[in-house]
Amino acid sequence: MATPVKRAFRYRFYPTDAQAAELSRIFGCVRKVYNLALQARTEAWTLRQERITYNATSAMLTAWKKTEELAFLNDVSSVPLQQCLRHLQTAFTNFFAKRAKYPSFKSKKKSRASAEYTSSAFRFRDGRLMLAKMAEPLDIVWSRPLPEGATPSTVTVSRDAAGRWFVSMLCDDPSVEPLPATDSAVGIDAGLDSLLTLSTGEKITNPKHERKYRARLARAQRNLAKKEKGSNNRAKARLKVAKIHARICGARRDRLYKLTTRLVRDTQTIVIEDLAVRNMVKNHTLARAISDAAWFEFRSLLQYKAAWYGREVIAVDRWFPSSRLCSACGVITSKLPLNVRTWTCDCGTTHDRDVNAANNILAEGLSVSVCGAGVRPQRRTPGGQSATKQKASRREP
């Protein structure tokens, strides 16, 4: 029997004034303990070349609670404080494995305000969630039901920059099972005019959420810039800017979730490009449009959903000339500026740039797949020789 998939279910909730004050205090304590532990680990390594483990920082937390300066840590649940030390340990593990940068200190203004509770620090019964050291259950808006009979293993409470409160419950979801296998495969070319172009010829429009709210966002940001730092009016103006950003982010995420779910359900093998988005946004002319397209988030969603439902995602090398390669005869054209959306090959085939790229991505991906389906397109130069033969002829005397 397959192990059930761990899945997080996030809901909005509306705390009372007392609950909001208590949770804000917990967020501050979590941030304080995290920063103290990070400082201790950094100093130990810098001064003594000593690595401090989670167990050592946990013992430090016990000692900190006994000091007069940090005695307030005893007033909140100890579980979120222990969990933040575990998160710090994970951050260092990823750093030493070269999967992430060195951990950074948490900021009151910029860092995500959150606290994680394990099963010993909350009670969940009949749709009512009670957190440790709180007198009343949270007023949760159940926008969708939890899996039948599911019991959360961890609960994470958070507040975003727009002042909205969320609770995320991690549960086993037995309803997530591999879908029946099919022979379908699709290549996907990511773009800006069309968000995605499929090898079937379908083009999925780019909603350009940021552009839709650009004027409203600029007006709110100008209003924020005029307010005196530290004033209540500046806090209100900042909240308006954050709400616009939250609306843009929510619309973009909703679109991507629905799109990736559809692709995974309908297709067995999905071939995409291995785009270096971090490098691409260094182009200041296209950075805003690329960020709004959220190609990296699209790939992340696609990969974990494919793993859930038994689908395969193949990433083609980013240097593969998908747009310049003729999918009919294999000739690679020398130049193809971005403003050229259709082009005609020497063989007489007229290509839509994006559809041609999607077809080439599909063929390239299938050629390296373990299933052996498809044939790698034979690349040829405009002179008619294959690229391999032309290289060989250059080496002959």
Where in the sequence numbering do the catalytic residues fall? 189, 273, 354
Token pair in block for residue 278: 């971090």
Distance CA(230)–CA(241), nearest Å, equals 16
Q: For residue 125, list its beta bridge partners.
A: 128
CB atoms within 10 A of CB 64: 20
Estimate the crossing angle of helix 78-96 against helix 17-48, to 10 degrees.
40
Distance between CA 154 and CA 132 in Å, rounded? 13
The span from the CA of 343 to the CA of 326, in Å, is 10
Q: Is residue 290 within a helix (H) or strand (E), and if so which, with residue range?
A: helix 287-293
Distances (CA, A) of 167 to 8, 23, 312, 369: 10, 12, 31, 40
State the Cα angle at 108 between 141 and 216, rounded to 5°: 65
**Strand, coil or helix: what is 263?**
helix
